[in-house]
Structure 1
Amino acid sequence: MADLTLPKPVRHKKLNSYITGNPFVTDEELARMFNVSIQTIRLDRLELGIPELRERTKQYAENTYAKVKSLAGREIIGDLLDLELEKSGISLLEITGDMVFEKNRIARGHILFAQANSLAVAIVDAEVALTGVARVSYQRPINQGEKIVAKAVINSKSGNKYNISVTSRSGNEVVFQGKFRVFAVDLEEGANN
């Protein structure tokens, strides 16, 4: 079998470029992609000054959470990775042991719903935003250890009503879809009536 390993300078350049465009890629995925060991990828990242996935996620989250108006950061289920108020948002949720049923290690349905719902509310540019209607569809069971990436998009807005769709994926596979109607609420207006 021929050696498919790239020379180190070439690998470093491609690695840096790939991580810049795909900041949530794991070391394991990079090792497979570049046909090297995980340890080699870790050393490459260290030499290039690229933090590990957890730190990259944390950096993205810190920059993104400051934009949210409708929720406190701890009220968002999952790590908020990207947010454009009045447009879209992305969050990442790793399914841990406390999120699954003990008997079969399958994620509880309300966990995926909570990730999608909190993301839908977070993209609304209002001090208070509440879900009025939700229609959801679970495509398959989710297991402990899976990483779920949810993307919310505002499809339309009429007055204070937002129609938002959320698609959640595990890898490239769609595992959950939801349509939410979210209302921006003016608390002062309600208090004066």
Structure 2
Amino acid sequence: MRLQKRERQEKLAALLEGNPLMTDGDLAEHFSVSVQTVRLDRMELGIPELRERLKDMASRSLDDVKALPIDEVIGDILDIELDKRAVSVFDVTEDHVFQRNGIARGHHLFAQANSLAVAVIDDELALTAKSELEFRKPVHAGDRVVAKAEVLPAGGKPHRSIVRVVSTVGEEPVFTGIFEMYRTHERGKEGQQ
């Protein structure tokens, strides 16, 4: 059963409040309406398009990334708390996939996860010392990959941090990585910026 316009708009606003990463296509499918209807609903509600929502999220929740220039991070960082957690999104385009099968090249997924692991480290220098990777499911053009990084204890190793990154498309994990990061300063020690 289709919802009335007012009820649909209320639910759309609530849905985007909980998950601002939903595309107009996702919303159209969710409400069984056209993408144009979703766009009109968003405009009437004063809800910006996805790109603008992403920029707004990023500007409100970013610590200053130290280990690399922000424009060198693959994907768009949405949230970061140095030495704790970070989130980025990467939209896969035709340029990122193999032509013969439409599957994303693995180095793009790795680059998103690895650059996020570097960015989340609260140090002027962070380098990947070791990584364990698992590609779990193919990613295709048009997919939005959301990578979530979490900094874990390094088990007493000096000048090291462990960063776990899980990348998903929708709710499905597509890539996981454990990155052992070298850092100039010990985490939480005096002298660390």
| Stretches of structure 2 lacking an aligned partner (at least 5 in a row) | 186-193
What is the correspondence of 1:31-110 to structure 2 with a 5 Å cutoff?
Answer: 31-64=28-61, 67-110=64-107
What is the correspondence of 1:165-184 to structure 2 with a 5 Å cutoff?
Answer: 165-184=164-183
What TM-score, normalized to structure 2? 0.86
Cα-to-partner distance string for 1:81-135 (whole Å, 9 max, x where unaligned): 1111111111111112222223333222211111110111111111211111111
Contact 2:63–2:82 (8 Å) recurs in 1:
no
Q: 1:28 to 1:102 in 2, by over 3 A?
A: closer
Number of residue equivalences: 183
Aligned-partner SS, 1:106: coil
* Distance in 2 between residues matched to 1:155 and 1:168, nearest whole Å: 17
Contact 1:65–1:73 (8 Å) recurs in 2:
no
Deviation (angstroms), 1:151: 0.9
If you compute each CA radius of gyration, which structure gives the higher value, 1 or 2?
1
Q: Percent identity?
A: 47
Partner of 2:111: 114
Match of 2:149 among 145, 148, 152: 152
What TM-score, normalized to structure 1? 0.86
* Distance in 2 between residues matched to 1:113 and 1:130, nearest whole Å: 14
Computed over aligned residues only, the root mean square deviation of the Cα atoms, in angstroms, reads 1.8
Q: 1:64 to 1:97 in 2, by over 3 A?
A: farther
Contact 2:63–2:81 (8 Å) recurs in 1:
no
Deviation (angstroms), 1:62: 3.7
Aligned-partner SS, 1:124: coil
